[in-house]
Structure 1
Amino acid sequence: MHSRSYLRIKALIDCLMAVILLLIVMIPFSILTLFLACYYRGNPFYVCERAGLLGKPFKQYKFKSMFDSTAGELDSDKNRVSPVGKFLREWSIDEIPQLINIIKGDISFIGPRPLTCDYIAFYNKNEKRRLEVKPGLTGLAQVNGRNTISWAEKFKFDVAYVDQFSLQLDMKILIRTIRVVLSREGVDQNESTTAERFKG
């Protein structure tokens, strides 16, 4: 299927599937939201700005997995991850609110993972090509090592996805994602719970 034709169809499939999935998980989604609001004594969601298609910023939604830092606190992200948050990350449950991002058209189910906007300044010409398609909930890099591979390897997979963009590739990634999530492959990076920041 031609990539442009698939691009239009993919957007419709993404929205439809996200609506269906959100309706299916609405009750457990609501219960978890209330639980996390009590657990963190505040906002149960983590909202941050990410770079979308062509670098356009958008607000990404995730379930909160870390305690808030106090004034002057220098604890690393690893130390701030809560026991509940670690469980949510291991099973990728913290990603569920991004169904809202998919419905809004910010991201797709499949594509390069959305990164912070400040990373764009560090991309070389080839790495910047990852912005040519919508970011995704999962992608080629996530099924080929996830957090255990280097930034260079991640970007290599991201650009490869752009070059090979097709329905067949998306289906392969989707199937492999299910296996990766169930096996919890590549969740931690060097026994840490957060990936190192990209510095160019």
Structure 2
Amino acid sequence: MNFYAKYIKRIQDLLIAFVMCIVLSPILLIITILVKVKLGTPVIFKQNRPGLNNRIFTLYKFRTMTNMKDKNGNLLPDEQRMTKFGEWLRSTSLDELPEIFNILNGDLSWVGPRPQLVKDLVFMNKKERQRHKVRPGLTGLAQVSGRNNIDWDEKFRYDLEYINNITFFNDWKIMFQTVHKVFCKEGINTEGLVTSEDLGDYLLRIGRIAKKEYLAGLEKSEQLIKHQKK
């Protein structure tokens, strides 16, 4: 890694995160109250994500969906659990504000490859997993180049392009572009879907993997999470 990536980037992340915690504290409090009233508890949605060197960490977000279940106790599909308020949180990216605390504890950087799901990790090939050589980011080159409305091949191409050219200028350029994308509400969801498509689902849909391989990947991801919790 270059001097900026090795010595400056982490210090910069911490300084910005401390300032943002202070500046955004009133907004964080208001959203916390609104989420609790409109969606219930827990207010914070926690999810396992693979980070630096494939280490699994807990990502924090404001919840955007209800816990509505069917008669068998299974969660209903995303589109049925998503509320207007939840859609607004996502469209404004306010649901991602708690990730500032992930930046403070070192799980995230402000800029880097966006942390995907554990069940996405198991479907990545060796080259694609190189994205985990650096700390993942709250935003990244892929997000300002299409956010969720680009396919997985493009996401990986942008991720690998970023990790090969981490500079002060590129990071600040991506951060400013992210602000523009958020205000313009561009590429929030994958076209035709309420939430973005998982890598395994994508590979199965386009025929790159068989159903048997897909199910084996899901089982492997569950084993990784269980192993991490021990």
TM range (shorter): over 0.9
Q: Which moved more, 1:39-48 or 1:66-75?
A: 66-75
Corresponding residue of 1:166: 167
CA 1:36–1:186 in structure 2 vs 1: closer, same or farther (change >3 Å)? same
Partner of 2:56: 57
Residues 78 and 4 (structure 1), Cα distance of their counterparts in 2 relative to 1, 3 Å cut: farther
Deviation sequence 1:27-73 (CA, Å, 0-9, x none)? 22112112211222221111111111011111100010011142544
| Structure 1: distance between partners of 2:144 and 2:4 | 25
Moved over 6 A (4+): none
Is 1:108–1:134's contact at 8 Å kept on the other side of the alignment? yes
SS of the aligned residue for 2:148 comes to helix
Identity of aligned residues (%): 35
Contact 2:67–2:75 (CA under 8 A) maintained in structure 1: no
Q: Which residue of 1 aligns with 2:42?
A: 43
Q: CA RMSD in A?
A: 1.5
Measure, in 1, the Cα distance between the counterparts of 2:183 and 2:40: 30
Distance in 2 of aligned mates of 1:161 and 1:38: 40
Which whole-Å CA distance do the structure 1 matches of 2:159 and 2:79 have between them? 26
Number of the residue aligned with 2:110:
109
> Is contact 1:55-1:117 (8 Å) kept?
no
The answer to whether the 8 Å contact 1:113/1:139 transfers is: yes
Q: How far does residue 4 in structure 1 lie from its aligned partner after superposition? A: 4.0
Amino acid at match of 2:23: I
Equivalence map 1:95-174=2 (5 Å): 95-174=96-175
Work out the number of aligned pairs and report it: 199
For the residue of structure 1 that corresponds to 2:164, the secondary structure is helix
2:88 matched residue in structure 1:
87
Q: What are the Cα deviations for residues 126-155 of structure 1, in whole angstroms up to 9, with x where unaligned?
A: 101100111001000001111111011101
The CA deviation at 1:75 is: 3.0
What is the Cα deviation at residue 74 of structure 1? 5.8
- Mean Cα deviation higher: 3-12 or 48-57: 3-12
Question: What are structure 2's unaligned runs of at least 5 residues?
Answer: 204-230
Larger Cα-atom Rg:
2
Q: Indicate if the aligned counterparts of 2:46 and 2:61 stay in contact, CA closer than 8 A.
A: yes
The residue type equivalent to 2:24 in the other structure is V
Cα deviation 1:13-38 (Å, max 9, x = unaligned): 10111111011111221121122112
Provide structure 1 residue ranges, at least 5 long, that are not aligned to the other structure.
none
Letter in 2 for 1:195: S
CA distance in structure 2 between the aligned counterparts of 1:78 and 1:134, rounded to whole angstroms: 31
Distance 1:59 1:69 in 2: 23
User: Is the Cα–Cα contact under 8 Å of residues 112 and 162 in structure 2 kept in the other structure?
Assistant: yes
Q: Distance in 1 between matches of 2:4 and 2:145?
A: 27
Change (3 A) 1:5 1:180: closer
8 Å Cα contact 1:61-1:98 kept in structure 2: yes
